[in-house]
Amino acid sequence: MEVTGWLCLCLLLHCIELASSLRGKLLFSNSTSIMEFDVATQNVTPLIEHAGSRLFALDFDYSKGYVYFPRALQQEIMRFPYTSTNRTLQTVVKTGLLPVGLAVDSVNEHVYWIEYYGFELYRCNMDGTNITVLSTLRNPFVIRLDVTNRWIYILETQPTASRILKSRFDIAITQTIVNLTTHVLCMAIDNDENRLYWMIDDGDIQSAKDDGSDVKTILSTNVSISNCAIDVFGSYVYYAYGSHLLLLNKAQETQTVLCNYTSRIDGIFVFKSGRNNTKIWRGIPLMCKFHAIRKPLKNQIQILIAWTSLTQN
C-alpha cells in the first residue's frame, strides 16, 4: 500500500510540474521551424525544424506531452515530445491533399485534421491508427474543439467569403453559425467565455458567441495582410501579422507587441494550463485520496492532495 501511494504521488508531482512549466508560454511557427516564446522573459527558443512547409496549426496532447502539427506540402501529420530533450519528429499519419487544420482531443485520445483540397474532415487515434472520414466540406482551413461540451468548429474559406460551421462530435448535424464576406484564415475558441475569435484580411479582429450571435469587431489594426495565426487564453488574444507577435487585452482592447521575429509567423498555440485541462489528470489525485483513506501516508502527501484540490476548483 505504501509503494502504491508513493507511485500516485510521483504521478501527481509530474502532472503539477508539467502544468506549472507550461504557464506563460506559447508556440509559434514559420515556414521552417517551431519556436517557444516565454511571455514573461520574451525569450524565443527554437524547438524543432520541420523541413520547409507553411505550418498553420499547432496543438498539444496534455496527457502525453506531444506537440502535433500538419505538414501541408509533405501531406502528413507529425508530432514531437515537447517535454523531452530528445525532440525527434515522428510521423503520425500520411494524409491527402494539403492538410492545414488540426486539433487534439487529449481527453478522448483523438487527433482531428482537415484537408483544404481534399475537402474532408478526418479523425484518428493519437498514434495514427483507426483513421476515419467524418465529413465532406468546402475548402476547410481551421478546426477547433470544445471538448467539454463536445462541439467541433470549422472555418471554411474562399477568396471573397468565409463561414464558420458548428457540429457535434458525431457529425450528425452541422450548422452554419457565421457567414463572412471576406477572406479569413485563422480562428480561435475561448472556452471560458464561450466565444470565437478570428482575423479578417483588412486586419480587424472580430468575435462572436459560440452560437454565432453577437458578431462584433474587437480591434481594427489597419494592417491589410493574410493573417494566419490567432489563439486565446484567459483575458488575452494572441495573434500575428507578418513577423510580429502581438497580445490583445480583451477588456481594455489594447495591443502590445511581444516579439518582432525574423520571418512571417503562420501559426500560434498558447498553452492552456487552466481549469479546462485539469480533467485530464484529475483521476490521479482521486486515486491518491483513495489510498490515503485506506492507510494514511506521510503528511506531505495529505498536504499535497489538499492543495491540488484547491487549485483545480
Question: What's the CA gap between 164 and 92, in Å, rounded?
Answer: 27
From residue 29, how far is each of 14, 111, 286 by CA, in Å? 27, 19, 37
Q: What is the pLDDT along the chain (313 residues), one digit of tens a residue?
A: 444 444 444 444 444 444 444 668 999 999 999 999 999 999 999 999 987 788 999 999 999 999 999 999 999 999 999 988 889 999 999 999 999 999 999 999 999 999 999 899 999 999 999 999 999 999 999 999 999 999 999 999 988 999 999 999 988 889 999 999 999 999 999 999 999 999 998 889 999 999 999 999 999 877 777 788 999 999 999 999 889 999 999 988 889 999 999 999 999 999 986 434 433 333 333 333 333 333 343 343 343 333 333 333 3
From residue 300, how far is each of 52, 292, 297, 305 by CA, in Å? 49, 11, 8, 9
Question: What's the CA gap between 166 and 113, in Å, rounded?
Answer: 15
Which value, to the nearest 10 degrees, does the dihedral of the CA atoms of residues 297, 299, 302, 308 take?
A: -130
From residue 79, how far is each of 16, 34, 42, 118, 133 by CA, in Å? 23, 11, 25, 21, 21
pLDDT at 273: 64
| CA 82 to chain CA centroid, nearest Å | 14
| Short-list 14, 9, 93, CA closest to 292 | 9
Q: What is 24-272's CATH number, 2.120.10.30, 3.10.580.10, 2.40.70.10, 2.60.40.420?
A: 2.120.10.30
62: left (phi over 0), alpha (psi -120 to 50) or beta: alpha
The long-range contacts involving 11-16, CB below 8 angstroms and separated by at least 24 positions, are 11/284, 12/281, 12/284, 12/285, 12/288, 12/304, 12/305, 12/308, 13/304, 15/281, 15/284, 16/308
DSSP for 252-281, please give it.
Answer: TTEEEEEEE-SS---EEEE---SGGGGGGT
For the full predicted model, state whether its pTM sits above 0.85: no
Beta strands 132-136 and 140-146 are unpaired
